[in-house]
Structure 1
Amino acid sequence: MDNGLRHKTIYQTLKQLESFKNSGLPILTIQLTSSGKKSPPLKIFLAQLHSLSKKLNKEETKIFKNDLKKIENYIMESLNTRGSKSIVFFTAGKHFFYTLNLEFYLPPACKVSNSPWVSDILKGIKKHTKYLILLADREKARLFTVHLGNVEEHKDIFGIYVPQTVKQINKAWAREDKILRHIEDHLNRHLKAITKSTSEFTKDKNIHFIIIGGHKTMFEKIKNHLPKKLQDKIVGSFVSELNIPIHDIFLKAQKVIEKKSR
């Protein structure tokens, strides 16, 4: 499961797991995690898995022998830890096998129950906050709301093209101040369009903080044009082109968040 735009959201997976509540089946839940600032190497998760599996009693070890091997194989062959702080496995033999990649810390845990053990996940979801990524250059802007590692909503803003220079049409354009005023006028209209769309996009959304990305020359200009209530939510920025994959944008934003939390 990718850490950026997942095929299944956390909520969809939790809803599926809910159908196994009090199932009568012995269900193994394994939480692997890292408290470091960067995504941990696979060997950290493998060592943690081996350590946690020792908490199982003799009978449980026998029941979940194949499940533990399946988890180990998944870590070595399929797991992508980019942008993740915790990985949770839910398994019950041939009946089901679910994984959740989470961008927040969970304590390491090994639980056997008749229900998937999701207590720590639910607590983490309550603490985790929704945020906005605002990308902009001189031609357009892109808005994303991100929650629990998933891009929930996305909007592209095609503003007014802002020229770097203006060709001389006649002698009246020869004066540099007129050329600059022409460029500045285009830029201000572009910034107003971004501000209006951002205000509309964030209305009635519980946005806790904002990260600005895109071309560095736009950062201060955007900040100064946004309403104060949105200005106050800006926590950082990153340089990027606007046409890169959403997952790469998400990872750049994660670096800003990690730096902010130090």
Structure 2
Amino acid sequence: MEKTIRKLLSYKNSSYPTLSVYLGVAGARDKKSSLKTMLMTQFHSLIHQLSSSEKKVFREDLRRIEEYLEDSFDTRGTRSVVFFTAGRNLWEVLSFEFYLPNLLKVSNSCYLSPLVDDVKRHKKYMVILVDRKKARFFIVYLGEIVEHEDVVDQAVPQNVRKIHEAWKRQDKIFRHIEEHLHRHFKMIASVAESLVRNNNDIHFIIIGGHEENIHKLKKHLSGALQKKVLGEFITELNIPLNDVLLESKRVAEMIEEKQNWKIKPIFVKELRGQLQ
């Protein structure tokens, strides 16, 4: 995404007219209308801003945008889509989980000011998926996973989640398991601290997993990292990368809707119904 934006910034003073189109949905979506339908309606409305000659020049570009919205656009985890097009010379589409106001502009450069200004406001965030044996770390920026790390703790007993009640009465075994778990979550917290230290622009953290494991991990985080935990969601650990991204973007969208990042955490129970 960053490379694409830099490339678009270098596309200036072209001899070809360039069309920049921003489409976004602010606030809660209309349940009666799909995101695709809403964006298509906004697109048709923006077209009226073009003169007759501009419509003729960009006829194929407009058709291509409409076809993209109809056939190729993935609405999951998306609130805005931006098109930069100049016939055969340029075609770039960027999607974002945050809102960008609707806009259409014709010039000899890509109109990037709204995008660049908003991108500066959006920071990286980290997603931690955790269970009693493993952890997965993802750093997300502008809707993309930019760093990914898996941690497996072979020392944790594999059947720890299925401890028979009779075992629990054996204090020695139970304490042994709890000690392993304590070291496991302490190790995960240490990795999280290291990632945040090496990426000092991580703005907030989202934790996914079973509720008990989320609670245990939070207890092992430092006070500074606990304050960064602004969202949680219930999940199994071994879900596809794309699902990790979609769920985290959904939670990040809820976080962003709170005023200027000054928010209370979004907790697991608030998300359960939305993750069914």
Q: TM-score, normalised by structure 2?
A: 0.84
Q: What is residue 117 of structure 2 aligned with on the other side? A: 123
Q: What is residue 233 of structure 1 aligned with on the other side? A: 228
How many angstroms does 1:247 deviate by?
1.5
Write the distance in 2 (CA, Å) between the matches of 1:257 and 1:83: 9
Aligned residues of 1:26 and 1:114 also touching (Cα < 8 A): yes
Write the distance in 2 (CA, Å) between the matches of 1:213 and 1:174: 27
1:221 aligns with 2:212: no
Residue in structure 2 matching 1:258, options 246, 253, 257: 253
For structure 2, list consecutive stretches of 5 or more residues without a partner in the other structure: 259-276
Q: 1:188 and 1:60, CA in 2 relative to 1: closer, same or farther beyond 3 A?
A: same
Q: What is residue 130 of structure 2 aligned with on the other side? A: 136
Q: What is residue 5 of structure 1 aligned with on the other side? A: none
Moved more, 119-128 or 95-104: 95-104
1:157 aligns with 2:151: yes
Aligned residues of 2:21 and 2:83 also touching (Cα < 8 A): yes
Query: What do residues 94-150 of structure 1 show as CA deviations (whole Å, max 9, x unaligned)?
Result: 222111111211110110000011110001101112111111101100111111111
What does 1:1-262 align with in structure 2 at a 5 Å threshold? Answer: 10-37=1-28, 40-159=34-153, 160-162=155-157, 163-164=160-161, 175-205=169-199, 206-260=201-255, 261-262=257-258
Write the distance in 2 (CA, Å) between the matches of 1:225 and 1:203: 17
AA paired with 1:236? G
How many angstroms does 1:175 deviate by?
5.0
How many angstroms does 1:191 deviate by?
1.0
For structure 1, list consecutive stretches of 5 or more residues without a partner in the other structure: 1-9, 168-172
How many angstroms does 1:204 deviate by?
3.3
**What is the RMSD of the two structures over their aligned residues, measured on CA atoms?**
1.9
3-state DSSP of counterpart to 1:164: helix
Aligned residues of 1:166 and 1:183 also touching (Cα < 8 A): no
Write the distance in 2 (CA, Å) between the matches of 1:72 and 1:165: 53
Write the distance in 2 (CA, Å) between the matches of 1:25 and 1:200: 48
Write the distance in 2 (CA, Å) between the matches of 1:120 and 1:210: 26
Higher relative contact order (CA 8 A, sep 6+): 1
3-state DSSP of counterpart to 2:173: helix
Q: What is residue 263 of structure 2 aligned with on the other side? A: none
Aligned residues of 1:192 and 1:225 also touching (Cα < 8 A): yes
3-state DSSP of counterpart to 1:179: helix
AA paired with 2:25? S
3-state DSSP of counterpart to 2:202: coil
Write the distance in 1 (CA, Å) between the matches of 2:138 and 2:59: 43
Moved more, 203-212 or 104-113: 203-212
